Amino acid sequence: MCGVRIPGAIRFVFSRGVYPYYFSFLLYAFFYLPDVGRLILYSPMNRKASEIMKIYRPVLLFLLAVTMLSCGDAPQTPESCAREVIERTLGRRAPDVELRLTEKAPDGHDRFATRVTDGRLVIEGSSGVALTRGFYDYITTNGYGQVTWTGTRMELPERLPDTPLREVSSPFRHHYYMNVCTFGYTYPYWSWNEWEKELDWMALHGFDMALAPIGSEAILMRIWRDMGLTEEEINELFTAPGHLPWMRMGNMSGLDSPLSERWLDEQVALQHRILDRMRGLGITPVFSGFAGFVPPAIARVRPGVTLTETRWNDHMKSWMLPVESPLFREIAARYMEEWEREFGRGEYYLVDSFNEMELPFGELSPGEVHAQLTRYGETVYKSIAAVNPDAVWVLQGWMFGYQRDIWTPDNIRALLAGVPDDKLLVVDLAEDFNAMVWRNAPGWEYADGFAGKQWIYSTVPNFGGRSALSGSLEFYANGHLAALQSARKGNLVGYGTAPEGVENNDVVYEMIADAGWSSEPIDVEQWVRRYARNRYGDCPGELGLFWDHILRSSYSVSVPNQARYRWQMTPYDQRRGPVDISDDFFRAVEHFAAAGPELSGSGLYRADLALYAALYAAGKADIAVERANAAYLAGDPEAAAAERDAFFSLLLTADRLLESTPNHRLERWLGFAEARGHSAAEKERYQRDARRLITCWSDGASLHDYACRVWSGLIRDYIVPRWEHYFDCKERGTAPDFAGLDSVWLASAAEPLSPQERCPDVLTAAEELFARYGAYGSDFVRPESRGIVGSWSPFEFGGSRRRIRLTLDPATVPGIRGVRFRVLRGGDGVRVGNPVLQVDRVNIASMQYEAEMGPVHAEAVIPIRHTQRTVPAEAALFVTLDGPAAADSFGVIELVR
C-alpha cells in the first residue's frame, strides 16, 4: 500500500474494526516492544490472554509476515504510485511506459512532458499527480480513450507511434477538488473500492489538493468521551452519515443518529487508506478543523459555558462555542492533537463557522462588527497554530458571493485581517454563480484580491448531485482566464472545482480538468469533438450535430441550480422547472441516437444514449404535466386525463431506460448504504438516511426536492406515486397528504424497490420514444412566456390563509407594474392578494391588499411599485390565497408589465 510502513500497516490490519483493539496492542507490543509485551502477556491478570496467545501466536506471526510482504518497509515513490494508477487504468501492466520524476517549474507549479520514441512512452512529471496527468493528457490528446465515472475507454495501439515532445506547465500551484457537501450527496457510504477509483480519477485529471474530513466524528467522540459526555449526549449532535456535512458546518444536528462504534472505527480505517494513497501520489489533503460546534450537554461537564444556538433553514439547529471561550481553544487543540496522532501532521485545515448563517454577534455598530470579525479570524487561526504553527487555515468563500448583504468588502477584510497572509487560504468557491446566477462582480474583484491572502479560483458545477444536463462549457473552459489576467488577482495560488455531488455530467468535469492546466483559451466546439472521439472512438456527422444543438441548450448558459424538472418538485409546486427543454435539446438527442449505427459497439455510447433518451422523456414529461394542469384549470377532464396518461408513460419510459445505465439507478445508491450496516436495524437506518437525503432531505420542508436525481427506481417508486396522489386529489377536490407519502417512503427503507426490466436494445427503445413523442409538445409555450406565473384550484385551499411562492424570470422584473388575479371558473368566493416582490432574497415591493374573487368579481389587478431597473440574479413573487377548504375556484396569476 502506497506510503505505509510496517507498524502503520499492522495498526491498520488489526485495529480498524477487523480485530479487537486489545489484540492489536498485544501484537504490536509483542513484536515491537518485547519486554512490555511479555510483561502484559504473562502478568497474573492476563493468564487467560497468555494461553490464547500461545495458541494463536503462529497465526499472528503468519498474518504479520503477510502484512510485511504486501506493504514493504519503505514508502513507495511518486513514480511507483503513478504507475499503479496507470496500470489500474489500462487494466494491465505498462512495460512500454517510463516515468521520470523531475523538478517543479521555477514558479513552483507542477509540470509534465511526454514523448514517444521507438514505441516507448516517456513521461516526465514533477509529482505523482503530474505524472498521471501527463499520462492522461497523452491518452486524450491522441484519441486513445477517456476515464469517467460512467465508464472507461482505453484503446491503445499495440505499438505506440512516435510523437514529438509535448510540455505542459500548470498556471496554478494547486488544483483543488471536492465540496464539503460531496461527502453527503455522493461519498457517505462509499467503501475503499469506490474511493480507490475516485482517487485514480483525481490523479488522472490533475487534482492535487482535496478535502479529507472522513474520521472527524471518531476523533470528536474520543475527546468528548474523555471530557465526560455520554454516547447519547454526543449523538444529540451527530447525524446519520449522509447528513454529516451539514452537521460539520453547524447547520443541523441529531437527524437519524446515532453513529455506531463500528462505523466510527471503519471510517478511521478508510481514512488511513485514503490518506496513504493521497500522500503517495502527492495529493495534499485538506483536513477538517474544529469550528466550535458541540453537543449541548457540554454545558453539563463544563458548567458556566456559553453556547449560541445556531439556526439554518428555519427548523434545523446546532450549538456553537464562542471562539473567545477558553473551552473553544481547549477542544480545538485537543482535536488537532488527536487528529495528528491518528492521521499524521496536516498542512491545511478547513474551518467554516458562518455557512449560510447570520453573524452571531447581535446588534453592533459596523466598527464593532469589524472588531469581532477580526478577533474571530485571529482566534481560529491561533487555535490551529497553537498545535501546528506550520498549518494553513482554509476558509470557503461561498458566503462571500451568496450573502453580499452581510459580507461587504469591509467585513471580508476584517475577517481576514488577523491572520498572516501565508497562513490563510480562501477557496473562492462559486465563480460560475457570480458570473451567471448572482451576476456579481468576481470574488477577487469584489474583495480586492482577498487582502493579499492566498486564494483558489473555484466553481460549483453541481447542486445536490442533480443529474440533468447542465453547465456552461464555455465558462468552464475559459472563465478562469479572467482571474489569471486580472490586475487585482492578488495572491492567486490555485484552481479548483467544488461540485456538491459527482458522477454526473462527465463532459463538464473533463472540461474543468483540462482548463486547470491551460493558460490559453480553449475552443469549445473543437474540444467537444475531441471529447466524443475519446469517449466513443469516433465523432461521425450526426454526433457533430448533437454537439451543435446541445451547446445551444443544456451546455450553453445553464447552471447547476437549474438542473431540476418541474415533475421533480412537490406537486403542484409553483416554481418554474428551469431545465432546458427547448427544441434544440430534443433535436440534439435525436441526432445523438442517429449516430447509433456507427457507434452502437461502444458501451459508453449505449450508456449515454440511455441517459439522453431518458432525459428526452423527462423533458416531454415536463410539458405533459403543464398541459395537464392547464386542462384541469380549464375544466376539460378528457384532455387532463390524456395528458396525465402521457405524463406517466413518459416517466416510466425514462425509468426503464435509466435501468440500463451504470450510475443513474437508485438501487446502486441504496446498495452502498445497506452494505455499510452491520445489523438489520443499522442497514435500515442507513437506507432511510440515503432515501431521505435525495428526496425530503430532512424532517422539515425547507430543502424538500433539492437533490433531484433522474434515477430509475426513484422515478417509479417515489415520483410516480406522488403525482398519482396529486392527480387523484385534483379529481376528487380533496387536499393532498404529501407528508404522509414521505413517511411511507422512509418507513419502507428496508423493503426492495419494485421490479423493472432493462431495455434489451437501447437504440430501439429510443427510436420508439421518438416515434411516439417526437412531435408531442412542439406547440407548447411555457405559461410564464404568456405572463402566467401561477395558478390556484380547490387543491390550494385548506380553510386558512396560505402564502405561496412563485418563481419569476429575472428578466421580467424591471417591467413589472402589478399582479393580475383572474378567475377561470368555480362558484365559491375566495380572497387573493398581498403581493410581495422579492429580488435576490430581499423584499423590494409589497402591497397589503386582498381582493374578493368569485363568479361576480372575476378579475383584480393589484399594483406593485418598485425601483428595480436592472435584471437581478433571482426573483420571486409571494401572494396569499384564502378561502374555505377545497374551495370551488380555479384561476391564474399573471404579471402586469
pLDDT in tens, 13-67: 433 333 333 344 444 444 444 433 333 333 434 444 445 545 555 554 455 444 4
Phi, psi of 785 (to 5 degrees): -70, -20
Sequence-distant (≥ 6) Cβ neighbours of residue 644 within 8 angstroms = 624, 628, 727
Q: How high is the mean pLDDT of the chain?
A: 90
Cα(606)–Cα(695) distance, rounded to whole angstroms?
Answer: 28
Burial of 758 from C-beta contacts in 10 A (0-12 / 13-18 / 19+)? middle
- Provide, rounded to the nearest whole percent, the portion of the chain with pLDDT above 70: 91
Average pLDDT over residues 695-724: 93
427, β-bridge pairs: 396, 456
Per-residue pLDDT band for 167 (boundaries 50, 70, 90) equals very high
822, β-bridge pairs: 859, 892
pLDDT at 57: 52
On the CB side of 625, how many CA atoms lie within 13 Å of its CA?
Answer: 27
Cα(786)–Cα(482) distance, rounded to whole angstroms?
Answer: 38
Phi, psi of 792 (to 5 degrees): -140, 160
CB 137 within 8 A of CB 112: yes
* Residue of 523, 557, 350, 553 lying closest to 433 (CA atoms): 557
Which of 361-370, 517-526, 681-690 shows the lowest mean pLDDT across its residues?
361-370
Cis peptide before 572 (omega within 30 of 0): yes
* Residue of 787, 763, 792 lying closest to 851 (CA atoms): 792
On the CB side of 725, how many CA atoms lie within 13 Å of its CA?
Answer: 17
Cα(510)–Cα(517) distance, rounded to whole angstroms?
Answer: 12
User: What angle separates helix 6-15 from helix 47-71, to the nearest 10 degrees?
Assistant: 120
Average pLDDT over residues 358-375: 86
Average pLDDT over residues 776-786: 86
pLDDT at 871: 85
Per-residue pLDDT band for 72 (boundaries 50, 70, 90) equals very low
Per-residue pLDDT band for 378 (boundaries 50, 70, 90) equals very high
Sequence-distant (≥ 6) Cβ neighbours of residue 555 within 8 angstroms = 469, 470, 471, 472, 473, 507, 508
Average pLDDT over residues 761-766: 97
pLDDT at 363: 81
pLDDT at 757: 92
Q: 365: alpha, beta or left, given left = phi > 0 and alpha = psi -120 to 50?
A: beta
pLDDT at 55: 55
Work out the number of other CB atoms within 10 angstroms of the CB of residue 431.
Answer: 23
Q: Is 184 helix (H, G, I), strand (E, B) or coil?
A: helix
pLDDT at 56: 53
Q: Where are the alpha helices (DSSP H) in 344-424?
A: 366-385, 398-402, 409-417
Helix or strand holding residue 422 (H, E): none
pLDDT at 4: 41
pLDDT score of 5 more than 50: no
Distance of CA 524 to the CA centre of its chain: 25
pLDDT at 18: 38
Query: pLDDT, tens digit, for every residue of 634-677?
Result: 999 999 999 999 999 999 999 999 999 989 999 999 999 999 99
Sheet strands (E) in 160-277: 163-169, 174-177, 209-211
pLDDT score of 252 more than 70: yes
Average pLDDT over residues 503-519: 98
Cα(51)–Cα(41) distance, rounded to whole angstroms?
Answer: 9
Work out the number of other CB atoms within 10 angstroms of the CB of residue 418.
Answer: 17
Work out the number of other CB atoms within 10 angstroms of the CB of residue 95.
Answer: 8
Q: Is 839 helix (H, G, I), strand (E, B) or coil?
A: strand
Cα(537)–Cα(107) distance, rounded to whole angstroms?
Answer: 37
Sequence-distant (≥ 6) Cβ neighbours of residue 289 within 8 angstroms = 332, 335, 336, 349, 350, 351, 380, 383, 384, 393
Q: Where are the alpha helices (DSSP H) in 392-492?
A: 398-402, 409-417, 431-436, 443-446, 473-478, 480-485
What does the block give as the cell for 447? 474583495
pLDDT score of 686 more than 60: yes
Q: Is 98 helix (H, G, I), strand (E, B) or coil?
A: strand
Average pLDDT over residues 83-103: 95
- CA distances 737 to 237, 315, 490, 729, 740, Å, are 30, 20, 54, 9, 5
Greatest mean pLDDT range, 261-265, 355-359, 841-845 = 261-265
pLDDT score of 886 more than 70: yes
Burial of 25 from C-beta contacts in 10 A (0-12 / 13-18 / 19+)? middle
- CA distances 722 to 177, 726, 790, Å, are 36, 6, 20
pLDDT at 2: 56
pLDDT score of 735 more than 50: yes
Cα(710)–Cα(707) distance, rounded to whole angstroms?
Answer: 9
Cα(700)–Cα(803) distance, rounded to whole angstroms?
Answer: 17
Helix, strand, coil shares, percent, the chain, to 5 = 45, 15, 35
Query: pLDDT, tens digit, for every residue of 562-605?
Result: 799 999 998 876 667 789 999 999 999 999 999 999 999 999 99
What does the block give as the cell for 660? 440500463
Query: pLDDT, tens digit, for every residue of 452-492?
Result: 999 999 999 999 999 999 999 999 999 999 999 999 999 99
pLDDT at 69: 44
What does the block give as the cell for 680? 438489520
Query: pLDDT, tens digit, for every residue of 813-858?
Result: 999 999 999 999 999 999 999 999 999 878 999 999 999 999 999 9
Query: pLDDT, tens digit, for every residue of 136-152?
Result: 999 999 999 999 999 99
pLDDT at 592: 98
